[in-house]
Structure 1
Amino acid sequence: MEAFFNLSLPPGWQSLSDRQLLYFFTQLSRDLPMEEILTLCLFKWGDITVLCHLHNGNYLVRQRHKPKHEAQLTFRQIHSATASLDFLRHFPTSPVCITRIGKAEAIDKDFTEVPFSTFISCDNYYQGFLHTKNESLLKDLATLLYPDVKRVRLTKPYLYGSFYWFASLKWYFSGMFPHFLKIIPSDSENLLGYTPPIGEVLRTAMNAQIRALTGGDITKEDAVLNMDTWRALTELDAKAKEVEDIKRQTK
């Protein structure tokens, strides 16, 4: 297949354009099996048109920019070709986002120079969605990630894109700040591991983070909330490491 068509497919998440990301999230929002999504992406990004399904079970196809070149592909060949897109089966391990929704531009994708208050609010909506599966929380998340997006209708593909963006950011931060942010195993039945009401847990976690940075001095709270996210997480990670070191020493 590659020899005939000379396919050029994106090698990973970071190589996807806005259009490609939107196409993937559109298929994802249709609740299709991942195998079907990968096949659709293969045909779309490989510029392949399926002409018909033949009696022998093969597919007659051609590339749109080579209308006179046709070929038969077996299901096995198509399945083999989709292996190059297997990265789509997993969340990105570094931030990936659609850079613009309508005229609304995204904030910096790795939250450089983004206020810590924005990160806290995003995390609350993200964790809340994980716990409740309430998509209105994804709309709230998207309006923070795309500050001027209120003028645009937020369809499911954009909501899923926002979710994937923040999920990839949290994964990335877990590597940068491993003492403070830890990834919960994906096979956990409850991704959050929470038993109290989610609102109560999130308020407690947020207050604990702010208190750790202010040292209990409420006059410093505004300064902490306006602090750069990276700076705040660096301080919280250092404090978490100190606690771990003390616990290790007392053992």
Structure 2
Amino acid sequence: MDITIDISLPKSWTDLTQQQLRFLLAVIASVNRINRNVPFRSQDDYAAQTAAQVATICLFKWSGITVICPYADGYLVKADNREVYLPTQIITAALVHLSWTKQLPQFPVRLDTVDGAKAIPADISSGLSFDAWLACETFWQQYQASQNPELLRQMAEILYNKEGIRPRPAATLGVFYWWAGVKNMVSAMFPNFFRSIGPEGTPEPIAYDTMRHNIDTQIRALTKGDITKESEILALNALRALTELDAQAREYDELQKKYGTT
């Protein structure tokens, strides 16, 4: 006899409620912590197995299906007050709908509150100066190279406006996913100035000297070499400053196309 189970799942990061987002981040943090001590054949195998485990846990949680007993080839579950055996093939097919959980967000998503502090708007439309943007970018790039969670905590101090903030591991991870979404958002908004962090969601870390040079170049571009304007520029709303940088990058590209490299 065929048995139908109707379930509804989030279709993307932006579909998540705050409760679902907290759960997903907690699962990602927990599964990664456990799997770090498990021998895998390769890094790719680690990533694939971890992603599948995260998606499976979320599938059961968000669908309201209770696992009674796992088996080698499936699960005995309770759904709609009935006990049902779900073979692995059915679970695997359902996991396709949660494949987005292994990707970085294309748009900013974040926890509303962390350690009692309220976040600035997810899309950084207000509450973030250009100076604060540069600080977050510095911490972000350094995190790519070191994977030191303290750098994400320092980002949280800025994004949640709380000095000495103490986020839990899931909330710390949430800062990483939030900024990844911000990076992809601004890459789409300002294509002349930014490049996307990549279809696979794997940003390329850069050397500190290169990063520092890039930041100084951004500031000089906005001040046009007038150091007396630096404080004014750094106090600008981040998106306003990025709008100006994108316009300058577009003008530069147009000049290059018209006159060629000098």
Same structural fold, with TM-score higher than 0.5 when normalized by the shorter chain = yes
How many angstroms apart in 1 are the aligned matches of 2:17 and 2:197? 29
How many angstroms apart in 1 are the aligned matches of 2:200 and 2:58? 27
Structure 1 residue runs of 5 or longer lacking an equivalent are: none
Counting matched residue pairs gives 241
Residues 14 and 96 of structure 1 are in contact (CA less than 8 Å); yes or no, is this contact kept in structure 2?
Answer: yes
CA deviation digits over 1:7-30, x for unaligned, max 9?
Answer: 111121111012211221122113
Q: CA RMSD in A?
A: 2.2
Match of 2:19 in 1: 19
Q: Taking structure 2 as the reference length, what is the TM-score of the superposition?
A: 0.85
> 1:184–1:11: structure 2 CA closer, same or farther, 3 Å change rule?
closer
Match of 1:62 in 2: 78
1:236 is matched with which residue: 241, 245, 251?
245
Residues 101 and 149 of structure 1 are in contact (CA less than 8 Å); yes or no, is this contact kept in structure 2?
Answer: no
Query: Is the aligned partner of 1:140 residue 2:140?
Result: no
Matches within 5 A, 1:27-176: 27-29=27-29, 30-31=31-32, 32=35, 33-53=50-70, 57-63=73-79, 66=80, 68-113=81-126, 114-148=128-162, 150-151=164-165, 153-176=166-189
Residues 177 and 237 of structure 1 are in contact (CA less than 8 Å); yes or no, is this contact kept in structure 2?
Answer: yes
1:224 is matched with which residue: 233, 242, 245?
233
Where 2:164 maps in the other structure, the secondary structure is helix
Q: Taking structure 1 as the reference length, what is the TM-score of the superposition?
A: 0.88
Comparing 133-142 with 72-81, which one deviates more in the overlay? 133-142
Q: Which runs of 4+ in 1 moved over 3 A?
A: 184-190
The letter of the residue matching 2:252 is V
Residues 104 and 149 of structure 1 are in contact (CA less than 8 Å); yes or no, is this contact kept in structure 2?
Answer: no
Match of 2:254 in 1: 245
Q: What is the Cα deviation at residue 121 of structure 1?
A: 0.8
How many angstroms apart in 1 are the aligned matches of 2:74 and 2:231? 64
Structure 2 residue runs of 5 or longer lacking an equivalent are: 36-49
CA deviation digits over 1:194-236, x for unaligned, max 9?
Answer: 4xx41x2222221111111111111111111111111101100
How many angstroms apart in 2 are the aligned matches of 1:53 and 1:40? 12
Q: What is the Cα deviation at residue 178 of structure 1?
A: 0.5
